[in-house]
Structure 1
Amino acid sequence: MTVAVSRPARPLRAFLGAGAIGVLLLVAMAITSVANVRSHGAPQWTGWFGLVAGALALAGGVYGLRAVREPTRRSSHLRRALLLFGLGLFGWLVVMDVFTYLLLAGPEVALAAALACVPTTGLALLAVRWLDRYDSQPWPYLLAALIWGALAATLLVSLSETLWQMANYDLVPGQPLEISIAFMAGSNEEVAKGVAVFLLYLVLRERFQGVVAGIVYGAAVGIGFNFLETMTYIAHLYYLFSGLVPDPKAGPAWVGPLAAGVAQWFIRQILGMFLGHPTYTALIGAGIGAAAVLPKRHQRFLSILGGLLLAVAAHFSWDAWASLFPTSSSNALLLLISIPARNVLMTGPFTVVVLLVLVMGLEVEGAGLRRQLEQEVAAAGGAVGAEEVPVLLSAWRRLDSRYAAFALRGWRAYSRLSQLQTAQLRLARLKWQRQQQGRPADAESEAAGRSRILELRQALAAED
Structure 2
Amino acid sequence: MSQLPPQPPASDPRMRGVLLIAVVLSALYGLEVVIDLLRPHLPYEDFHSPVGWLNPPPKGLPYPSFGWYKVSFWCYVLSLPAALALYLTGRRGGRYLPHWQAAAAVVLLFPYPIWTLDTYSHNLTYILLCLPSTAYALWLVHRMQRYSRLPVRLLLATAGWGAVMGTGFGGSMNQWWLDYSYNYLAPGPDHLMPLDLARVRLRVTAGGLLHAGLFEELGKGAGVAIVFLLLRRHIDNIVSGIVLGAAAGLGFNLTESAQYMAAHHAADASTQYFLRQSLGLLTAHMAFTALIGAGFGVARQLPDRRSQRTAIACGFGIAMAAHFANDVFISYYSRVKEDWFSQPGPTMDLLVLTPLSFLVLQGPLVLLYLLLLRRGLRDQAEALAVELRAEAATGQGAVTAAEVPVLLRPARRFYLRLHALRHQGPDAYRRLGRLYAAQLRLGMARWHRSRDEYDPYAPDEQALRQRVLALKHQPGPAVAAGRPLQVAS
The TM-score range, normalised by the shorter chain, is: 0.7 to 0.9
Where does residue 421 of structure 1 map in the other structure?
Answer: 436
**Aligned pair 1:98/2:117, yes or no?**
yes
Distance 1:420 1:160 in 2: 46
Q: Is the 8 A contact 1:135 1:422 kept in 2?
A: yes
Give the equivalent residue in structure 2 for 1:139. Answer: 152
Instruction: Provide the C-alpha distance between the structure 1 equivalents of 2:374 and 2:462, rounded to a whole number of angstroms.
Output: 31
Higher alpha-carbon deviation: 425-434 or 59-68: 59-68
1:295 aligns with 2:303: yes
1:362-410 CA-partner distances (Å, limit 9, x unpaired): 0001111111100011111111011111111222221222222233333
Contact 1:372-1:432 within 8 A present in 2 as well: yes
Map of 2:365 onto structure 1: 350
Contact 1:61 1:81 in 2 (8 A): no
Instruction: Using the TM superposition, name which of 125-134 and 433-442 deviates more.
Output: 433-442
Counterpart residue number, 2:346: 332
Unaligned runs of 5+ in 1: 1-9, 238-256
1:193 to 220, 223, 241: 220
Superposed CA deviations along residues 283-315 of structure 1, whole A, max 9, x for unmatched, are 110111110111123322222122222212322
d(CA) in 2 for partners of 1:290, 1:68: 35
Mapped to 1, the partners of 2:455 and 2:227 lie a distance apart of 26
Decide whether the 8 Å contact of 2:22 with 2:109 is kept in 1: no
Larger Rg: 2
**Alignment partners' CA distance in 1, 2:409 and 2:210:** 43
Closer, same or farther in 2 for the Cα pair 1:289/1:58, shift >3 Å?
farther
Residue range with higher mean Cα deviation, 115-124 or 443-452: 443-452
Partner of 1:254: none
Aligned to 2:248: 221
* Residue 160 (str. 1) matches residue 173 (str. 2): yes
- Range that drifts further, 388-397 or 302-311: 302-311
* % identical equivalent positions: 31
Q: Which residue of the other structure, out of 434, 443, 446, is the alignment partner of 2:449? A: 434
Cα drift, residue 203 of structure 1: 2.5
Q: 1:27 to 1:366 in 2, by over 3 A?
A: same
**2-side partners of 1:368 and 1:141: how far apart?**
24
Retained in 1: the 8 A contact 2:233–2:458? no
Q: Using the alignment, how far apart are the partners of 2:468 and 2:430 within structure 1?
A: 14
Query: Separation in 1 of the partners of 2:87 and 2:225?
Result: 19
Which residue, 293, 311, 330 being the options, matches 1:321?
330
Is residue 294–residue 436 contact of structure 1 (8 Å, CA) maintained in 2?
Answer: no
In 2, the alpha carbon distance for the partners of 1:56 and 1:178 equals 31
Note the C-alpha offset of 1:98: 2.3
SS in 1 for 2:473: helix
For the pair 1:393 / 2:408, whether they are aligned, the reply is yes
Counterparts in 2 of 1:53 and 1:210: CA distance versus 1, 3 Å: same
Q: Select which of 261, 267, 279 maps to 2:275.
A: 267
Q: Hey, what's the Cα distance between the residues in 1 that align with 2:323 and 2:421?
A: 46
Post-superposition shift, 1:418?
2.0
The answer for the alignment partner of 1:248 in structure 2 is: none
1:140-174 per-residue CA deviation (whole Å, 9 max, x = no partner) reads 11111111001111122123334555675566685
Task: Name 1:21's counterpart in structure 2.
Answer: 21
Task: Kindly indicate whether the alpha-carbon contact (under 8 Å) linking 2:303 and 2:453 is maintained by their aligned counterparts in 1.
Answer: yes
What residue identity is the alignment partner of 2:416? Answer: S
Per the TM alignment, residue 340 of structure 1 is displaced from its structure 2 partner at its CA by: 1.8
1:424 Cα deviation from its structure 2 partner: 0.9
Residue correspondences, number:
426
Q: Distance in 2 between matches of 1:406 and 1:214?
A: 31
Query: 2 CA distance for matches of 1:196 and 1:334?
Result: 39
Q: Is the 8 A contact 1:416 1:459 kept in 2?
A: no
Contact 2:398 2:469 in 1 (8 A): yes
Write the letter of the residue equivalent to 1:424.
Q
Tell me which amino acid in the other structure corresponds to 2:372.
V
Query: Does the 8 Å CA contact 1:219/1:285 hold for their aligned counterparts?
Result: yes
The aligned counterpart of 1:251 is none
CA distance in structure 1 between the partners assigned to 2:152 and 2:204 by the alignment: 43
Distance 1:48 1:321 in 2: 33
**CA-atom RMSD in angstroms:** 3.9
Supply the AA of the counterpart residue of 1:138: P
Distance 1:169 1:93, change over 3 A: closer
What displacement does 1:51 show? 8.1
Q: Residues 83 and 107 of structure 2 are in contact (CA less than 8 Å); yes or no, is this contact kept in structure 1?
A: no
Q: Is the 8 A contact 1:102 1:235 kept in 2?
A: no
Q: Is the helix fraction higher in 1 or 2?
A: 1
SS of the residue corresponding to residue 386 of structure 1 reads coil
For residue 404 of structure 1, what is the aligned residue in structure 2? 419
Structure 1, 65-74 or 190-199: larger mean CA deviation = 65-74
* Structure 2 segments unaligned to the other structure (5+ residues): 1-9, 34-50, 58-63, 187-198, 479-487
1:224 maps to a residue whose letter is G
Q: Which has the higher contact order (CA 8 A, sep 6+)?
A: 1
The residue identity in structure 1 corresponding to 2:116 is D
TM-score (norm 1): 0.78
Cα shift at 1:38: 6.9
